[in-house]
Amino acid sequence: MKVVHTRDALKAGPGKVGVVMTMGALHAGHATLMREARKTCDFLIATIFVNPLQFGPNEDLAKYPRTFDADLAVCEEEGVDLVFAPSPTEMYPDQPVVTVDPGPLGTVLEGAVRPGHFAGVLTVVLKLLNMTRADVAFFGEKDYQQLTLIKQMVASFNVPVEIVGVPTVRESDGLALSSRNRYLSPEERELALALSRALRKGAAQHTADAVLATAGQELAGLDVDYLELRDPALGPAPVTGPARLLVAARLGTTRLIDNTDLELR
């Protein structure tokens, strides 16, 4: 496995090139993305870059976990061929003059709570797609709005890449894996189980009202940013058919998100 820090050194091998983009602090969710990528790609690139552009002024950029050596071990273990770990100045030699406008989906759900977040995400993802020239890129469904916006960006700008969504990896008790779980106290971690429980119980209902009422009951007492039912592309909720239930809540100073698919009848 090769590790490079500059664009000039970033050269993929022959065949189908896959990329898994990360901000480091790798966990079993990232390993699953790499394993999925490894199944279909000849050459696998992982990127590790804590992107300042997607953090708001009051967010956790400085305290975002940085575990580079352990991250490299995960990449090695999962058969990554090349790790691209640029510095902020390598990625943004000048402040980006042009950034990607996420459009209407960038202002709701996470975008309503984190203004500018998705402009930062889409800008770095487009840059990394262009730098790696990957044929296929893998993203977790855990960040479902991010995945949906990346698909929209690729369609809007005719980016020649396939975007693959990979199901969320969970702890055995249901908690969705996240780099931020490490900030939870034992009490907060226990309370955090309400998110996945709300989604599971909500998804077992069949009408929008019942889904939201059931999920809402499980979240009682938590500091909930949103609980929303939408269609799979995150447009308005359908009356029947496939839908997506999304939740965000704060446990102390830690903000967690989760989502599930479901079927309305």
Task: Choose between 21 and 37: whose C-beta lies nearer to ligand PAF.
Answer: 21
Q: Indicate whether 23 belongs to the interface with ligand PAF (CB under 6 A).
A: yes
Say whether residue 121 binds ligand PAF (CB under 6 A): yes
Q: How many residues bind ligand PAF (CB under 6 A)?
A: 10
Which 130-189 positions form the footprint of ligand PAF (CB under 6 A)?
Answer: 143, 146
Burial of 67-83, coded b for 16+ CB within 10 Å and e otherwise, reads beeebbebbeebebbbb
Closest approach of ligand PAF to the CB of residue 169, in Å? 14
Subset of residues 227 to 246 that bind ligand PAF, contact rule: CB under 6 A: none
Among 12, 21, 91, 222, binds ligand PAF (CB under 6 A): 21
Place of tokens 């209407």: 104
125 binds ligand PAF (CB under 6 A): yes
The Cα–Cα gap between 152 and 173 comes to 33
Contact indicator for 256, 249 with CB cutoff of 8 Å: yes
Closest CB to ligand PAF among residues 46, 212: 46
Coil vs helix vs strand at 249: strand
Any catalytic annotation for residue 27?
no
**Whether the Cβ atoms of residue 145 and residue 105 lie closer than 8 Å to each other:** yes
Catalytic-role residue among 5, 27, 30, 117:
30
DSSP state of 175: P
Helices (H), the chain: 28-40, 68-77, 88-91, 110-113, 117-132, 144-156, 186-203, 208-218
Closest CA to 249 of 228, 226, 216: 226
Q: Which stretch binds ligand PAF (CB under 6 A): 87-95, 120-128, 225-233, 255-263?
A: 120-128
Question: According to CB under 6 A, which residues from 37 to 56 bind ligand PAF?
Answer: 51, 54
Least distance from ligand PAF to the Cβ atom of residue 16, Å: 20
From the list 21-29, 64-72, 74-82, 243-251, the region that binds ligand PAF by CB under 6 A is 21-29
Based on CB atoms, which residue is closest to ligand PAF, 122 or 249? 122
- Residue 118, classed as helix, strand or coil, is helix
Task: State both tokens at 217.
Answer: 């009951």
Q: Which of 12, 18, 22, 135 binds ligand PAF (CB under 6 A)?
A: 22
With CA atoms as reference, report the closest residue to 254 among 202, 186, 196, 201.
186
- The first and second tokens of residue 146, run together, are 């991010």
Interface with ligand PAF in residues 47-106 (CB under 6 A): 51, 54
* Residues forming the active site: 30
Q: Point out which residues bind ligand PAF (CB under 6 A).
A: 21-23, 51, 54, 121, 124-125, 143, 146
